[in-house]
Amino acid sequence: MARLIDLSKPIRCNANDPWYMRVRIKHKTHSQARWLIRFLGLPFRLFPKYFTGWADDTIRSMGVHATTHLDAPWHYGPTVAGQPAKTIDQIPLDWCYGPGAVIDMSHKADFDPITVSDLQAALRQTGVVLQPNMIVLIRTGRDKLNGTKKFAEVGTGMTAESTRWLIAQGIKVMGIDQWGWDLPLPYMAQQAKLHNDPNLFWQAHLVGRELEYCHIEQLVNLESLPSSGFQVCVFPLKIVGASAAPARVVAILD
């Protein structure tokens, strides 16, 4: 029997998330729904026996990048190599299911970028050979910071060169278990200002302006996976015209 491992973080309100990525959900109890049904014209006396109404919930605010999600090429810019970039609803489903590989980068210090040589050394150590259309997951261990203020502020991150190298191996979808694919956003902004160099900001994401690829951010539980020998499902919500979508990412082990 196959074993399923959930690689998606829970969707819930967390006060420690940055204000621009905070989720707000309104939970409605069964008793609140009674009055909606009454308003629709059904008298209480005709409610089925033991029926107290239905529970319901409303997502009042949730950015598409606020939880475990898949970024579409449209997120990085309007074009890829001069052609219109795909929005999330245009991502082919066959990109979203395939053999997985985990590359362990949990030894990398905060703000120390993940280089091509880092990836190659880790692959040599495990004996994993990347194949086209694999889904490659970068394990940093920073998912343990989920729910804390530090989650968006610390971590390692991919470079432009290491992102290009994965794409050159035929990888269309890749992911990471920290807040973002690049080095932490506040750190990149600080470094760009410190060195007066715009190339230091969002460099890995911007590879998507020249080469078509998608990445998953805010994964969890990558320590539960072997280096290879499993399948990955990463099906995003089909939000028309969106730059990304929340996804239930699941690993399937035989």
Q: How large is the average pLDDT for residues 10-32? A: 91
pLDDT score, position 48: 83
Q: How large is the average pLDDT for residues 121-142? A: 98
Q: Does domain 69-253 have CATH number 3.90.1310.10?
A: no
pLDDT higher than 80, residue 33: no
How confident is residue 42, by pLDDT bands cut at 50, 70 and 90? confident
Domain locations in the chain? 24-61, 69-253
Please tell me the number of Cα atoms within 13 Å of 174 on its side-chain side: 29
pLDDT score, position 59: 95
Q: Which residue has the tokens 């819930």?
A: 12
pLDDT score, position 44: 78
How confident is residue 12, by pLDDT bands cut at 50, 70 and 90? very high
How confident is residue 47, by pLDDT bands cut at 50, 70 and 90? confident
Q: Are 115 and 159 in contact (CB under 8 A)?
A: yes
Q: How large is the average pLDDT for residues 163-188? A: 98
Show the tokens assigned to 109: 């210090």
Q: Which of 33-37, 86-90, 95-99, 172-176 has the lowest mean pLDDT?
A: 33-37
Write a three-state SS string for the chain. CCEEEECECCCCCCCCCCHHHCCEEEEECHHHHHHHHHHCCCCHHHCCCCCCCCCEEEEEECCCCCCCEEECHHHHCCEECCEECCCHHHCCHHHCEEEEEEEECCCCCCCCCECHHHHHHHHHHHCCCCCCCCEEEEECCHHHHCCCHHHHCCCCCECHHHHHHHHHCCCCEEEECCCCCCCCHHHHHHHHHHHCCHHHCCCCHHHHHCCCCEEEECECCHHHCCCEEEEEEEEECCCCCCCEEEEEEEEEEC
What's the CA gap between 198 and 160, in Å, rounded?
13
Q: How large is the average pLDDT for residues 44-57? A: 82
pTM listed for this prediction: 0.94
How confident is residue 31, by pLDDT bands cut at 50, 70 and 90? confident
What's the CA gap between 98 and 20, in Å, rounded?
32
pLDDT score, position 6: 98
pLDDT score, position 160: 98
Q: How large is the average pLDDT for residues 210-229? A: 98
pLDDT higher than 90, residue 29: no
For 221-244, the pLDDT digits (tens) are: 999 999 999 999 999 999 999 999
Q: Average pLDDT of the chain?
A: 95
For 112-121, the pLDDT digits (tens) are: 999 999 999 9
